[in-house]
A and B are shown apart, each in its own frame.
Chain A
Amino acid sequence: MNDNPGLLLVTLAASLLVAPLIFLLPERAWLARTTLNLGAALLKLGLVTLMVAGLARGDSYAFGFTVVEGVSFQLRADPLGIMFAGLSSLLWLFTTLYAIGYLEGSPNRKRFFGFFSLCVASTLGIALAGNLFTFMLFYELLTLSTYPLVVHRGTPKALAAGATYLRYTVSGGVLLLIAVVALHVLAGEVNFGQREVLADLGPEHHAWLIGIFVLLMLGLGVKAALVPLHGWLPQAMVAPAPVSALLHAVAVVKAGAFGIVRVVYDVYGIALSYELGLLTGLAIAASFTILYGSLRALAQVDIKRRLAFSTVSQVSYIMLGISLFGPMGTIAGLAHLLHQGLMKVTLFFCAGNYAEELGIHRIDELDGVGRRMPGTSLAFTLGALGMIGIPPLVGFLSKWYLGMGAIQAGMSWVIAVLVASSLLNAAYFLPILYRLWFKPGPLEGVGTWPEERRLGRLETSAWLLWPALATAAFSLLAGVFAGLPFSPLSWASLIATQEYLP
């Protein structure tokens, strides 16, 4: 058996080593920094693609060493990890492109891109971690590397948001640490995929296992923004748009959700989780989060805040999917991990474009923007319709599989949650679309733009426009061509059928 540690390490190094290099470059070296950033992003995407192809061929990739007796550092590329790594590399590329355009001419770009790379490197580490210890290392690294991005602007509001962010995530980290240590004490080292270890523990340990599971969920739920642990997310909206995009689509929120996926499938195992009755609790928490997030989103007037609450709601679809016992629910949860990333990144790109080009931050300022910025508005429309779950966009597929999974798991009430959430999504997204396309705006002589700038030859700077269009196109094509191999849905189905079915 060939372990191919090289490819794995090079992939991780591609983003991890870029960070110090960027810190070494002078602030003015725009070209060098951009080349480095994009080069690394492309390289990483290529390497992950190679690994995807390798995994499909049946190769395996692993690397590990012992830190102290009983605790080891493990990296491993399994289909689930590679899926998350693929998402993060793809969206990293677009977010980098976007960030380059977004931060043009603003101060502290060196610091920004340095921590940006670090943040992505930790996400990759999370994706490729082979056990809870390694996972936790990168998870904490992510917390720390994201903080400078959240407070990037340095305003009092940003600093306050950063403080809230740290307060939440560090407390979550402590809970996670306690849980991991407790698990070590109970069962020794558990590598991801060794589900039999916990399953073989006798029923006398079950109370402990349930307690540890709750602790793990609390620790990971902070980043995954499970209500009531979501308080930091809407406040973190003061961050620059590419950071919000990254936070919501790939890095922080997804890291939490991915962690929960790992715990349920690879540490406890779905069968044990089901047996201990943990899934029902998770399903209820997720359902409550879905509805609560949507209801809160309705009342927001700030675009990014509305999107943030929408994230709170949408990320819980992932948790809901994995809490539905059966292959369909698994497919739904895993596919939504990718789908939500594509759609949400698009929406945040667009929100950033509106803010940069026209100075628009509030929803009531969006009247008639569709005339002025048709490309961005089209991307936003696709993202929003996807969130509502209109086919053929990807959001529909998630909803379909969730519904199938719910019936399969004998929890038909979940369908009511899904439908209610769809209606609420429609209620908070369609008014925005209505304003974009159907209300007369400044171009028809009604009002003025808050702060118009002409950033590029087209409706806005090309750096800002094309990433938004590309991710929007991905979220359409991933839906239309869902039946093709290597589409998010096919990959999720592959994982569900090959890896997780008892």
Chain B
Amino acid sequence: MSLAHMLLLTVAWPLAMAALVAGTLAWRHGRALIEQRSSGRYVVPPGIAGDWPYRWRVALWASAPLPALGVALALPEASLTLDWWLLGGEWRLDGTRRALLGFTALLWALAGGYAHGYLGGKARRARHGDPDAERDLQAFVLLWPLTLAGNLMLIVAEDIASFYTGFAIMTFAAYGLVVNAGSREAYRGGRAYLIMAILGEGMILAGLLWAAASAETLTLTGLREGLAVAPQANAMAALLWLGFGVKAGVIGLHVWLPLAHPVAPTPASAVLSGAMIKAGLLGWWQTLPLGLTALTGLGRVMMIAGLIAAFGAALYGVTQRHPKAVLAYSSVSQMGMMTTLVGLALIAPSLWPMLAPALVLFAVHHGLNKGALFLGVGITEHPPRLPGWLLWLLLALPALSLAGGLASGLMAKWVLKAGLYDAGWSWLVTLLTWAALGTSLLMARTLWCQAHAWREARRHGAAPAPLSMTLAWALCALLAAAVPWWLTLPEAPAGAVQATDLPPWGELPGLLWPVMLGAVVTAALVVACHLEPRLHTRISRAERLPPGDLWPLYVHLASSLSGPLRRGVARLSNAQETAQDLAAGCGRHAMAWLMALQRWEAWLRRWAVPLMVGLVGVLWLALAG
């Protein structure tokens, strides 16, 4: 056992938790079955909600991401080789991975604590024998650590097979989390999620196989380096971009986000939108030849797609009524900005040393803040007993931060802006700044929806959120705002702005105007709506735009394409069956012919003697004559 084996523990521990849950379920199931044997009827056995001491179980279960958090905070750079694993495992902890691992583990840990409170009601109902609650709970408790294990594995993986394994485990296990509520909307969202995810997996597989085989490598580093010199690099990279783009919400492939995020249980939405979406970004990071070579064509397409997402999702998102849908569109918009930056790195590889740490900061900051915002949605639905100002301060903190107004958001924006200005990409800075205005509006919209939910909850006297929920959310909001100061991020090259360098006073107006303008526009709208009710009705007409924008169109396209395909296959199978019948028919004909031959033979046997005599007679006559 070396220190590097701690890396194995980061993945093995959540897997062990999943196995423990599965084992507990199986054990209880088997025991109950044997007890029921005499009755002869099959009854669902009681599940996990009444087993060994509840608190201990929850504590153990919630500890799943803690080894990963410890590793990210304390372990020095390490790498681990696992010869027995798949095609030969190679896991690593370096600067980028540390940052991603740390924030992912933290978000999962906090969301896990939050889930304890969030599902408390369900657990109570399950203890009192509600089978539906028991069912949902079992699925959640089992799939949560499994999804986590996949998410952590793909971060620490350096070999392609582990990376793809982690990605696949995470993707498929998360389906169970998305549909956990069991409603029709949940299954619709889950369906969109799964179909898009499978399409993505297909493209990833194609891209990985193609690139890895061309480079004859098993590691991600080898893949990147191979891609940098491959003749068909643009096509391979495009496959990988689109494949991972499903997870990262590239425009056009993003349709599952606004459908799946609102229906998932809130802690699951938080990790989906905060941590798992970053798996797509990490996928690009690990497979595209960033900083190694220029793929100008793809880079341009990525940049344009990213900018369309950054603006389009913001525009569409502000029309949404469900705060989680607004947040999902905000994720699409934010990921669009990151897509633009990755595209930029493909156009100008020399910028990568500056962009990489900035992008990590951006990703980590967005992940944690988005997580805090999602967790906050549950808080406003069940307002805890906190003073109103504190509650709204904590709700507004991640929103302002995400809009780039203060704390981590301000830092991320400053690092990027300074770097891009120095490199002469000022038009991009302008565009991104305008996109930040969109983010501000989205955040205002989120808070507005939350205020609405909060008033409703108070009017109906909703039960206050349990302590674990409130605590996890508050901690998430605070740690998210302070992320540059507690998480070791990869260092920017000397001379560039570091993640912890505060922007000088003179830069502040340039950085803060989108937030200010957003706030002013929102305030103006609110006032105008109050003064002019017709404006309010006109605005609420826009609110009818459904989440998932392009999804119905895709469904329609797919169904109109599948018809001809099905007919074609039916025709082929008919042809094959006809041939088979024809062969069988020929066989029958041949058989009938043989039977006829047999009848002839019998006839011959019966008439053999007279025939012979006749023949002899004829011959004799002929000879005699």
A296–B42 CA distance with the chains assembled, in angstroms? 36
Q: A412's contact among B30, B88, B210, by CB below 8 Å, is which?
A: B210
Closest to B30 in A: A458
Are A296 and B573 CB-contacts (below 8 A) given A404-B213, A407-B209, A412-B210?
yes
Residue-wise, chain B 136-161 has the 8 Å CB interface mask toward A (1 for contact) of 00010000000000000000000001
Q: Are A400 and B576 in contact (CB under 8 A)?
A: no
Task: Please give, as numbers and ranges, the residues of chain B lying within 8 Å of A296 by CB-CB distance.
Answer: 569, 573
Please tell me if the beta carbons of A482 and B87 are within 8 angstroms of each other in the complex. yes
- In the docked arrangement, what's the CA distance between A145 and B85, Å? 41
- How would residues 563 to 576 of chain B score, 1 for a CB under 8 Å from any chain A CB and 0 otherwise? 00110011011001
Whether B44 pairs with A371 at a CB distance below 8 angstroms is: yes
Contacts of A400 in B (CB 8 A): 87, 161, 209
- Contact of B34 with A392 in the complex, beta carbons under 8 Å: no
B583 at the interface (CB under 8 A from A): yes
Give the Cβ gap from A373 to chain B, nearest Cβ, in Å: 10
Tell me the bound Cα distance from A429 to B175 in angstroms. 15
- Is the Cβ of B209 less than 8 Å from the Cβ of A452? no
A484 to chain B, nearest CB (A): 5
Give the nearest-CB partner of A230 in chain B.
B576
How many Å from the CB of B616 to the closest CB on chain A?
44
Residues from chain A with Cβ under 8 Å of B431 in the complex:
none
Contact B86 A438 (CB under 8 A): no
Q: Is the CB of A372 within 8 A of B198?
A: no
With contacts A407-B213, A419-B206, A481-B84 taken as known, whether A458 is within 8 angstroms of B33 at the C-beta atoms is: yes
**B179 at the binding interface (Cβ < 8 Å):** yes
- B91–chain A nearest beta-carbon distance, Å: 14
Min CB distance A428 to B, Å, is 12
From known contacts A295-B565, A299-B566, A374-B29, infer whether A164 and B580 are also in contact, taking CB-CB under 8 Å. Answer: yes
B293 CB within 8 Å of chain A: no
Instruction: Select from chain B the residue with minimum beta-carbon distance to A479.
Output: B86
- For residue B625, give the distance in angstroms from its CB to the closest CB of chain A: 53
B565, A372: Cβ atoms under 8 Å? Answer: no
Query: Is A406 a contact of B213 with CB atoms below 8 Å?
Result: yes
Given known pairs A231-B580, A458-B30, A483-B84, the reply for A295 and B569 (CB within 8 Å) is yes
The docked-state distance in angstroms from the alpha carbon of A84 to that of B135 is 43
Q: Is B168 an interface residue, CB under 8 A from the partner?
A: yes
Q: Within 8 Å CB of B194, what residues of A? A: 430
The contact size tier of chain B is: 35 or more
The answer to whether B42 and A399 have CB atoms under 8 Å apart is no
A484 and B212 contacting across the interface, CB-CB below 8 Å: no
In the complex the two chains form, is B33's CB within 8 Å of A457's CB? yes
B492 within 8 A of A: no
Cβ A391 vs Cβ B165 within 8 A: yes
Render B553-595 as a binary contact track against A, CB cut-off 8 A, 1 for contact. 0000000000001100110110011011001100100000000
**Nearest chain B residue, comparing its CB with the CB of A445:** B131
Q: A residues within 8 A CB of B201?
A: 422
Q: How far is the CB of A357 from chain B (nearest CB, A)?
A: 10
Q: Give the contacts of A419-475 with B (CB-CB under 8 A).
A: 419, 422-423, 426, 430, 437-438, 443-444, 452, 454, 457-459
Query: Do A392 and B165 touch across chains, with their CB atoms under 8 A apart?
Result: yes
CB distance from A452 to the nearest CB of B (A): 7
A408 to B209 alpha-carbon distance, docked (Å): 11
Tell whether A397 pairs with B87 under 8 Å between CB atoms, given A167-B584, A459-B33: yes
Nearest CB in chain B to that of A294: its residue: B569
Check A389 for interface membership: any CB of B closer than 8 A: yes
Q: B83 on the interface (CB 8 Å rule)?
A: yes
Report the minimum CB–CB distance from B285 to chain A (whole Å).
20
Contacts of B44 in A (CB 8 A): 371, 443
The answer to the question of B475 belonging to the interface, with a C-beta cut-off of 8 Å to chain A, is: no
**Cα A459 to Cα B88 with chains together (Å):** 38
A228 close to B (CB within 8 Å):
yes
- Complex Cα spacing A371 to B566, Å: 33
B209 touches A404 (CB 8 A): yes
In the complex, chain A residues 138-164 whose Cβ is within 8 Å of any chain B Cβ = 164
- Could you say which of B85, B131, B198, B209 has the most chain A C-beta atoms within 10 Å of its C-beta? B209
Mind listing 22 A-B residue pairs with CB under 8 Å? Answer: A228-B579, A296-B569, A372-B42, A374-B29, A390-B172, A397-B86, A397-B87, A404-B212, A407-B213, A412-B210, A415-B209, A419-B202, A419-B206, A422-B201, A443-B44, A444-B135, A457-B33, A457-B34, A458-B30, A482-B85, A483-B82, A483-B85
Return the 5 tightest CB-CB contacts between A and B, nearest first: A403-B209, A407-B213, A391-B165, A483-B84, A404-B213
**Given A391-B165, A392-B86, A458-B33, 5 further pairs, Cβ under 8 A:** A374-B25, A391-B86, A422-B201, A480-B86, A482-B87
B: residues with CB less than 8 A from A are 25-26, 29-30, 33-34, 37, 40, 42, 44, 82-89, 131-132, 135, 139, 161, 164-165, 168, 172, 176, 179, 187, 194, 198-199, 201-203, 205-206, 209-210, 212-214, 565-566, 569-570, 572-573, 576-577, 579-580, 583-584, 587
